[in-house]
Amino acid sequence: MALPKRIIKETERLVAEPVPGIQAIPHDDNLRYFDVSIHGPAQSPYEGGVFKLELFLPEDYPMTPPKIRFLTKIYHPNIDRLGRICLDVLKANWSPALQIRTILLSIQALLGAPNPDDPLANDVAQRWKEDEPGAIATAREWTQTHATP
Protein backbone atom coordinates (compact mmCIF):
# COMPACT_ATOMS: atom_id res chain seq x y z
CA MET A 1 0.00 0.00 0.00
CA ALA A 2 1.23 3.42 -0.92
CA LEU A 3 2.27 5.58 1.99
CA PRO A 4 -0.34 8.28 2.74
CA LYS A 5 0.62 11.81 1.98
CA ARG A 6 0.28 12.71 5.61
CA ILE A 7 3.03 10.30 6.68
CA ILE A 8 5.34 11.40 3.88
CA LYS A 9 4.88 15.05 4.81
CA GLU A 10 5.38 14.43 8.49
CA THR A 11 8.53 12.43 7.86
CA GLU A 12 9.92 15.11 5.55
CA ARG A 13 9.30 17.77 8.15
CA LEU A 14 10.80 15.67 10.96
CA VAL A 15 13.98 15.36 8.97
CA ALA A 16 14.04 18.92 7.63
CA GLU A 17 13.21 20.75 10.85
CA PRO A 18 14.05 18.38 13.70
CA VAL A 19 12.79 19.17 17.18
CA PRO A 20 15.64 20.01 19.53
CA GLY A 21 16.52 17.01 21.66
CA ILE A 22 14.40 14.61 19.62
CA GLN A 23 15.39 12.45 16.68
CA ALA A 24 13.07 10.24 14.64
CA ILE A 25 14.38 8.29 11.66
CA PRO A 26 12.20 5.96 9.60
CA HIS A 27 13.50 2.50 8.67
CA ASP A 28 14.46 2.13 5.05
CA ASP A 29 12.43 -1.04 4.57
CA ASN A 30 9.40 0.12 6.56
CA LEU A 31 8.57 3.78 6.44
CA ARG A 32 5.94 3.37 9.18
CA TYR A 33 8.58 2.26 11.65
CA PHE A 34 10.77 4.88 13.32
CA ASP A 35 13.84 4.73 15.50
CA VAL A 36 13.46 7.50 18.02
CA SER A 37 15.82 8.96 20.55
CA ILE A 38 14.86 11.54 23.12
CA HIS A 39 17.27 13.53 25.27
CA GLY A 40 16.37 13.71 28.94
CA PRO A 41 15.12 17.22 29.73
CA ALA A 42 17.30 19.59 31.72
CA GLN A 43 16.70 19.84 35.48
CA SER A 44 15.22 16.37 35.50
CA PRO A 45 16.74 13.13 36.81
CA TYR A 46 16.97 12.05 33.18
CA GLU A 47 19.21 14.94 32.20
CA GLY A 48 22.19 13.81 30.20
CA GLY A 49 20.59 10.57 29.17
CA VAL A 50 19.61 9.62 25.64
CA PHE A 51 16.59 7.32 25.57
CA LYS A 52 15.85 5.06 22.65
CA LEU A 53 12.25 4.41 21.64
CA GLU A 54 10.49 2.62 18.82
CA LEU A 55 7.50 4.16 17.08
CA PHE A 56 5.08 2.50 14.69
CA LEU A 57 2.34 4.13 12.66
CA PRO A 58 -0.58 1.69 12.39
CA GLU A 59 -2.69 1.23 9.29
CA ASP A 60 -5.35 3.66 10.50
CA TYR A 61 -2.93 6.40 11.40
CA PRO A 62 -3.76 9.27 11.92
CA MET A 63 -7.21 8.10 12.95
CA THR A 64 -5.62 5.90 15.57
CA PRO A 65 -2.58 6.96 17.62
CA PRO A 66 0.96 5.76 16.87
CA LYS A 67 2.35 2.91 18.96
CA ILE A 68 5.37 3.97 20.99
CA ARG A 69 7.59 2.11 23.44
CA PHE A 70 10.78 2.88 25.36
CA LEU A 71 13.67 0.59 24.46
CA THR A 72 16.02 2.02 27.05
CA LYS A 73 15.46 1.02 30.66
CA ILE A 74 14.03 3.96 32.59
CA TYR A 75 12.92 4.52 36.18
CA HIS A 76 9.69 6.50 35.81
CA PRO A 77 6.24 6.14 37.43
CA ASN A 78 4.39 6.31 34.11
CA ILE A 79 6.62 3.95 32.17
CA ASP A 80 6.65 0.25 32.97
CA ARG A 81 9.35 -2.39 32.74
CA LEU A 82 8.46 -3.18 29.15
CA GLY A 83 8.79 0.45 28.18
CA ARG A 84 5.07 1.02 27.70
CA ILE A 85 3.98 4.57 28.31
CA CYS A 86 0.92 5.81 30.15
CA LEU A 87 0.03 9.04 28.40
CA ASP A 88 -3.48 10.33 27.71
CA VAL A 89 -2.80 11.56 24.18
CA LEU A 90 -1.63 8.08 23.23
CA LYS A 91 -5.00 6.68 24.20
CA ALA A 92 -8.40 8.30 24.76
CA ASN A 93 -7.25 11.85 24.08
CA TRP A 94 -5.66 11.11 20.73
CA SER A 95 -6.75 13.44 17.99
CA PRO A 96 -5.96 12.94 14.31
CA ALA A 97 -4.72 16.50 14.28
CA LEU A 98 -1.81 15.48 16.53
CA GLN A 99 1.45 14.45 14.94
CA ILE A 100 4.53 12.37 15.61
CA ARG A 101 6.44 15.44 16.65
CA THR A 102 3.76 16.62 19.09
CA ILE A 103 3.53 13.19 20.63
CA LEU A 104 7.29 12.95 21.08
CA LEU A 105 7.29 16.39 22.68
CA SER A 106 4.58 15.16 25.07
CA ILE A 107 6.76 12.22 26.00
CA GLN A 108 9.72 14.48 26.61
CA ALA A 109 7.50 16.64 28.80
CA LEU A 110 6.41 13.54 30.69
CA LEU A 111 10.06 12.86 31.53
CA GLY A 112 10.31 16.36 32.95
CA ALA A 113 7.08 16.02 34.95
CA PRO A 114 6.42 12.50 36.20
CA ASN A 115 2.86 11.95 37.41
CA PRO A 116 2.89 9.38 40.23
CA ASP A 117 -0.87 9.83 40.77
CA ASP A 118 -1.65 8.08 37.52
CA PRO A 119 0.90 5.31 37.65
CA LEU A 120 1.72 2.51 35.27
CA ALA A 121 4.61 1.13 37.26
CA ASN A 122 3.03 0.85 40.71
CA ASP A 123 6.17 0.18 42.69
CA VAL A 124 7.97 3.14 41.17
CA ALA A 125 4.99 5.43 41.70
CA GLN A 126 4.68 4.39 45.32
CA ARG A 127 8.34 5.07 45.99
CA TRP A 128 7.99 8.38 44.16
CA LYS A 129 5.24 9.45 46.52
CA GLU A 130 6.79 8.16 49.72
CA ASP A 131 10.43 8.99 49.13
CA GLU A 132 10.76 11.40 46.25
CA PRO A 133 14.47 12.24 46.71
CA GLY A 134 15.27 8.52 46.85
CA ALA A 135 13.24 7.82 43.76
CA ILE A 136 14.87 10.67 41.88
CA ALA A 137 18.28 9.38 42.89
CA THR A 138 17.41 5.96 41.52
CA ALA A 139 16.12 7.53 38.31
CA ARG A 140 19.40 9.40 37.97
CA GLU A 141 21.36 6.24 38.66
CA TRP A 142 19.42 4.31 36.02
CA THR A 143 19.96 7.15 33.56
CA GLN A 144 23.70 6.87 34.27
CA THR A 145 23.77 3.11 33.84
CA HIS A 146 21.40 2.59 30.95
CA ALA A 147 20.96 5.84 29.05
CA THR A 148 24.39 7.38 28.89
CA PRO A 149 26.02 6.83 25.52
Partner 1 sequence: MRPLRLLAAEFPNLACEQLTATDKASSKPKKLHLKPSEGAADSHTEQPPLSPTSSQRLPTLPNNLTVAEERPAKRSHSSTSTHPHPTGDHETDEEVAFSPAYDALVENEPKGKMSEMSDDDFLSGGSDDDFMDESMDSDFEEEDGTQYLDDKDDKPQKKAYEVDFTVLTEGEIKKAQSDAIEESCAILALTPENAAVLLRHFKWNKDRMIEQYMDGSQKLLEEAGVDLTGSNKPELKTVPGFMCDICCEDEDGLQTFSLRCNHRYCADCYRHYLSQKIKEEGEAIRIQCPSDGCKVLVDPKSITMLAGVGVLSRYYELLNRTYVEDRENLRWCPAPNCEFVVDCPVSQKQLHEIVPTVFCTCGHHFCFGCGSNDHQPCPCGLVKKWLKKCEDDSETANWISANTKECPKCQSTIEKNGGCNHMTCRKCKHEFCWVCMGPWNEHGTSWYNCNRYEEKSGIDARDTQAKSRASLERYLHYYNRYANHEQSGKLDKDLYIKTEKKMTMLQSASGMSWIEVQYLDAASKVLQQCRQTLKWTYAFAFYLQRNHLTTIFEDNQKDLEMAVEALSELFEKPTDQLANIKVEMMDKTAYVSNRRVILLDTTAKGLQDGTWEFTVEF
Positions annotated as catalytic residues are 86
Nearer to partner 1, 4 or 41 (CB): 4
Q: Give the nearest distance from C-beta 3 to partner 1 in angstroms.
A: 11
10 Å CB burial of residue 148 (0-12, 13-18, 19+) is exposed
Q: Which of 3, 31, 63, 109 binds partner 1 (CB under 8 A)?
A: 63
Check residue 95 for interaction with partner 1 (CB under 8 A).
yes
The identity of residue 33, as a single letter, is Y
The only residue of 18, 58, 96, 134 in contact with partner 1, by rule CB under 8 A: 96
Residues 12-41 close enough to bind partner 1 by CB under 8 A: none
Q: How far is the CB of 97 from partner 1 (least distance, A)?
A: 5
66 binds partner 1 (CB under 8 A): no
Applying CB under 8 A, among 3, 6, 58, 144 the residue interacting with partner 1 is 6
DSSP structure string for the chain: -PPPHHHHHHHHHHHHSPPTTEEEEE-SS-TTEEEEEEEPPTTSTTTT-EEEEEEE--TTTTSSPPEEEE-S---BTTB-TT-BB--GGGTTT--TT--HHHHHHHHHHHHHS--TTS-SSHHHHHHHHH-HHHHHHHHHHHHHHHS--
Site residue total, partner 1 (CB under 8 A) = 17
Minimum Å gap between C-beta 114 and partner 1 is 22
Contact pick of 28, 43, 60, 149 for partner 1 (by CB under 8 A) = 60
One of 1, 2, 97, 113 touching partner 1 (CB under 8 A): 97
